Chains A and B, each alone.
Chain A
Amino acid sequence: MPGPIQSLSRAAAIMRLLAGGERRLGLSEVATSLDLAKGTAHGILRTLQMEGFVEQDPESGKYQLGAELLRLGQSYLDVHELRARALVWADDLARASGETVYLGVLHQQGVLIVHHVFRPDDTRQVLEVGSMQPLHSTALGKVLLAYDPVARGELGDTALEAYTSRTLTDLTDIDAECALIRERGWADSIEETWEGVASIGALIQDRRRNPVGAVCISGAVERVCEDGFVRPSLVASVRSAARAISRDLGAGRF
């Protein structure tokens, strides 16, 4: 068992020092208080600054705690915020593709549908916000499995249900599929959950590139696929919507 890492301990001490009241401290004050060489203190402060944990006042050159610390404390993305920001792009994706659009996030052992845009054909459709979809057999779920280690952990050791003859139920197969999804940047699911239904999904990331959810289109196999594969033009639309939503999430809070 190796001992504590010295520079991390020192960084923690600097942050505790800066947290002690509403104050800004100069480099020499930090170095003196903690009995560090100025060069050492400066190196640590600069690193912390690069990570956003410490900010330097441009005029006085003094240091204070950074906004990143606050964000760490409230890092989860509110799903309703996600919906509000995705609304325009999800609408556009549905219109461009002519198919149903879903946004999903990981919730317990499945995918929680947080947004649903109807297929633009004005047929009777029922809003599915709040419903759950399986992780291992849907495009949304497989995107989350591929990118979110927490999702993969949720699969555990329980036996996976085979919804159709095409459902992947073997963890080795699923991991291989996830590797492929990461490599090409999108997931598909052709009749793996529902007969006759194919879907294409892509990842939504927040400003720190954390996986926060997935967006997909879903529709009849005959429309979504061509010669047994999902249509490349639809893949492109889904990926571009996912990128647009991710970009909007990076725009900061309002």
Chain B
Amino acid sequence: MTTELSGNAALSGDAALSGNYIAAIDQGTTSSRCIIFGADGRIVAVDQQEHSQIFPQPGWVEHDAAEIWTRVQSVVRGALEKAGLTRDDIRAIGITNQRETTVLWDKNTGKPVHNALVWQDTRTEALCRELGRNVGQDRFRRETGLPLASYFAGPKIRWLLDNVEGLRERAEAGDILFGTMDTWVIWNLTGGVNGGKHVTDVTNASRTMLMNLETLAWDEKIASSMGVPLNVLPEIRSSAEVYGHAVGDLAGVPVASALGDQQAALFGQTCFSEGEAKSTYGTGTFLLLNTGEKIVNSYHGLLTTVGYRIGDQAPVYALEGSIAVTGSLVQWLRDQLGIISTAAEIETLANTVEDNGGAYFVPAFSGLFAPYWRSDARGVIAGLTRYVTKGHLARAVLEATAWQTREVVDAMEKDSGVTLTALKVDGGMTSNNLLMQNIADVLNAPVERPYVAETTALGAAYAAGLAVGFWPDLDTLRANWHRAAEWTPRMDEATREREYKKWLKAVERTMGWVEEDEQN
């Protein structure tokens, strides 16, 4: 593995070979963090700072990219201080980031030309419909693995070029650079206007709708249909190689990895083999299944994406299914209904009863996502009787996350032909014991939680450490993964099938709620 890496300058001898630590920068949706890891993958220090969320109008979400860069510099300094380390102790820097969030900046001044458009921002919905022409949202799916949806970066670039005065001319003149947050951080970290590297990695590029999954290069036809000039786009590189060296607080340290946050979690969970999957349970949930070197087209509403690529090795692909409402349903119960006072109390309440009492809660708050994609659906609580208590509702809330996981896993199995043997989990909701047991029960597969929930930052650190030879190979990383808890299925087959049927019936009842004429 090290010999394979030497081909792309990873081991060219310019790395500070003395460092015993890897720094990971996790540029997230609400905050930026820097976490410093030791050789055994244990956390040495963390620093974190939030940045402002800007909401210019309903559905629009922006970040100030300049503020983000300031925060990133500050957390790097903070983490070093807390750890009592200097740049000489840091062997490499890895980057992981909120995906799809789009910034354009002037390469001569280094200043963003507009606030970054965040992945949740829906202003490109109409544009996406228009781009679908007569084909619809799957117009670019074969090449990019993605449906035309407002999350992805390509249409966001187009929106900026169309709506910021004079921007298209400046872009065509070659003065404007595009980046997702990995690109923005790396460009600044490696010098900015003074020779900063304008690069992205395959995982982030795979979320632009502009990269061809087969060739891992920008697709000129799609870029042209989307009205995005190729000269604004960064160079696409692997996820683990030395892109350049830092200036500033970490001067001289190799910048050696970039991975979108969910792909980084897949890497941090060491899902390196085909058929291995991870699920991150936060406000929403993201499930990624490693499909090896195969590009699996989804016919069941999943996304096809690049999992990671190490140096010049073959890329590893993944299927991705996201669940919009999981932890946020618990928050809804806490904040909107006031049935519980902290998120953790949901488990206490759910434990006051034996089962769901016949109640099913489908939280299709803004429609149904994978595998249905029905924007006309709205949430329902089905099966209510006089017997149902708030304890039963709490159960139904937790079961909703479990059943939605099951639906995504089913879709993955249908698309890929792979049967899931175990699910590796991380994220805040893994502290909910009842939920984790419930997921094992409805999947009929063990659910495993590793030590250290920070799998996202760990993934970026792992990739960077591999690139500079800090860790020799994937097996060493695998040996760092330890099971902190495991939930094994306890539900009998008949119950599982009966309950699943009821759940699916409840899902049916959400559909068609919003009439066509009230869609917007």
Contact = CB atoms under 8 A, between A and B. Distances in A.
Nearest to B479: A122
B235 interface: no
A130 B486 CA distance: 14
Given A81-B342, A95-B482, 10 more contacts: A78-B342, A78-B345, A78-B348, A79-B348, A80-B433, A87-B431, A118-B483, A120-B482, A127-B433, A253-B342
Interface in B398-440: 428, 430-433
Given A87-B431, A88-B453, A122 B342 contact: no
Contacts of B428: 84
A84 B346 CA distance: 12
Given A117-B485, A118-B486, A120-B482, A81 B451 contact: no
Contacts of A78: 342, 344-345, 348
A79 B43 CA distance: 26
Nearest to B452: A91
A87 B343 CA distance: 15
Interface string A120-145: 11100101011000000000000000
Contacts of A182: none
Interface string B222-247: 00000000000000000000000000
B173 interface: no
B347 A80 contact: yes
Interface residues of B, number: 24
B487 interface: yes
B273 interface: no
Given A80-B344, A91-B451, A116 B485 contact: yes
A85 B318 CA distance: 33
29 contacts: A74-B341, A78-B344, A78-B345, A79-B348, A80-B344, A80-B345, A80-B347, A80-B432, A80-B433, A81-B342, A81-B345, A83-B431, A84-B428, A84-B431, A88-B452, A91-B451, A91-B484, A92-B43, A94-B451, A94-B484, A95-B452, A95-B482, A116-B485, A117-B485, A120-B484, A122-B483, A125-B483, A127-B485, A253-B341
A254 B42 CA distance: 27
Contacts of A94: 451, 484
A81 B344 contact: yes
**Most-contacted residue by chain A among B341, B451, B452 (CB, 10 A):** B451
Contacts of A127: 433, 485-487
> Could you tell me the dominant secondary structure of chain B's interface residues?
mixed
Interface string B342-362: 111111100000000000000
Interface string B479-498: 00011111100000000000
B345 A118 contact: no
Contacts of B42: 92, 95
Interface in B331-375: 341-348
Interface string A126-167: 010110000000000000000000000000000000000000
Contacts of A117: 451, 484-485
Q: List the 4 closest pairs (A to B, CB-CB), nearest first.
A: A80-B344, A120-B482, A81-B344, A84-B431
Contacts of A253: 341-342
Given A117-B485, A118-B485, A83 B433 contact: yes
Nearest to B347: A80
Nearest to A129: B433
A78 B431 CA distance: 13
A92 B46 CA distance: 14
Nearest to B43: A92
Contacts of A129: 433
A125 B486 contact: yes
Contacts of A91: 451-453, 484
Interface in B466-514: 482-487
Interface in A87-130: 87-88, 91-92, 94-95, 116-118, 120-122, 125, 127, 129-130
A90 to B, nearest CB: 8
Nearest to B484: A117
Contacts of A92: 42-43, 451
**Most-contacted residue by chain B among A84, A92, A120 (CB, 10 A):** A84
Given A125-B486, A127-B485, A84 B344 contact: yes
Contacts of B487: 127
Nearest to B450: A91
Contacts of A130: 433
A74 B342 CA distance: 12
Nearest to B481: A122
A208 to B, nearest CB: 17
A160 to B, nearest CB: 29
Contact of A120 (B343, B348, B451): B451
Contacts of B431: 80, 83-84, 87
A87 B484 CA distance: 10
A95 B37 CA distance: 14
Contacts of B347: 80
B341 A254 contact: no
Nearest to B487: A127
Interface string B273-297: 0000000000000000000000000
A127 B440 CA distance: 13
A91 B454 CA distance: 12
Interface string A182-199: 000000000000000000
B44 to A, nearest CB: 11
B434 to A, nearest CB: 9
